[in-house]
């Protein structure tokens, strides 16, 4: 295998199992990666690609949940001017228009692998100028620290997207919809600040 291969998208292990012998990166290392599609990225198999749908509506950000239950609807509900993608690439219907997209996935193995496929699809330049990928939001699938193997896989995926944000587990949201009047965890506030987004309804207290 050539040493120039893009290992952050497709590793040398064809089974897609993470290489647990490799060092686990620091949080700082996980935040930034490739900012544009690159030549030589193999296109994922058809079964691993996300569907596409026409999207005529404007949005500051399109949240693209790469699997069911990722959290795209929750993020759209929390931020003014954004839209969920219904798990499909939002292809603009107006020529010359580019939609700004953030991938959203849970941090279990299946969610991370699906995020990797979506990142690969973008990196292979199959979407052209229709999509500007802003980054990837990883939403905790359970409370507590994630296993080393999953953190390593996150690191591999992070190298293939412009930015990664990690959002914590919010137990109250298992029982009902998010309270938009409540103060959000700092990780959510940092995400919205980085993307220049306005919360749907600011909390009454500071």
Instruction: Tell me the pLDDT tens digit for each residue of 117-129.
Output: 999 999 999 999 9
| Residue of 27 and 169 predicted with greater confidence | 169
| Residue of 7 and 140 predicted with greater confidence | 140
In a domain, 2, yes or no: no
The SS3 assignment for 166 reads strand
In a domain, 26, yes or no: no
Residue 189 has pLDDT above 60, yes or no: yes
In a domain, 71, yes or no: yes
Environment class of 49 (CB within 10 Å of its CB; exposed 0-12, middle 13-18, buried 19+): middle
**For residue 136, what are the domain limits?**
59-194
In a domain, 106, yes or no: yes
Q: How confident is the model at residue 31 (pLDDT cuts 50, 70, 90)?
A: low
Phi, then psi, of 128 in degrees rounded to 5 = 60, -140
Rg (CA), the chain: 17
What's the confidence (pLDDT) of residue 178? Answer: 81
Calculate the average pLDDT of the chain. 85
- Structural domain tally of the chain? 1
Query: Which position has the token pair 């306005």?
Result: 198
In a domain, 42, yes or no: no
In a domain, 188, yes or no: yes
Residue 80 has pLDDT above 90, yes or no: yes
Residue 112 has pLDDT above 80, yes or no: yes
How far out from the chain centre does Cα 203 lie? 26
Q: Kindly report which listed range (42-46, 166-170, 172-176, 196-200) carries the lowest average pLDDT score.
A: 172-176
Q: How confident is the model at residue 27 (pLDDT cuts 50, 70, 90)?
A: very low
Query: Which position has the token pair 């298992």?
Result: 174
What's the confidence (pLDDT) of residue 201? Answer: 66
Q: Kindly report which listed range (14-18, 66-70, 199-203) carries the lowest average pLDDT score.
A: 14-18
Residue 90 has pLDDT above 50, yes or no: yes
In a domain, 131, yes or no: yes
In a domain, 25, yes or no: no
Closest C-alpha to 64, from 22, 11, 20, 117: 117
Percent of the chain, pLDDT > 90?
Answer: 71
Structure pTM? 0.83
Percent of the chain, pLDDT > 70?
Answer: 82
């Amino acid at each position: 295998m050539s040493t120039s291969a893009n290992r952050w998208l497709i590793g040398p292990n064809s089974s897609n199992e993470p290489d647990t012998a490799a060092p686990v990166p620091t949080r700082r290392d996980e935040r930034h990666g490739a900012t544009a599609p690159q030549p030589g990225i193999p296109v994922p198999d058809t079964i691993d690609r996300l569907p596409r749908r026409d999207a005529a509506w404007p949005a500051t950000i399109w949240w693209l949940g790469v699997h069911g239950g990722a959290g795209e609807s929750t993020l759209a509900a929390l931020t003014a001017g954004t839209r969920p993608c219904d798990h499909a690439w939002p292809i603009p219907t107006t020529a010359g228009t580019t939609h700004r997209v953030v991938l959203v996935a849970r941090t279990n193995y299946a969610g991370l692998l699906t995020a990797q496929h979506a990142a690969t699809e973008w990196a292979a330049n199959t979407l052209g100028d229709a999509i500007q990928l802003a980054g990837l939001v990883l939403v905790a699938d359970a409370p507590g620290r994630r296993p080393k193997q999953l953190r390593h896989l996150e690191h591999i995926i992070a190298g293939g997207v412009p930015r990664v944000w990690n959002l914590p587990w919010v137990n109250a949201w298992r029982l009902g919809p998010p309270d938009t009047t409540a103060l959000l965890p700092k990780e959510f506030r940092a995400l919205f600040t980085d993307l220049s987004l306005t919360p749907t309804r600011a909390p009454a207290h500071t």
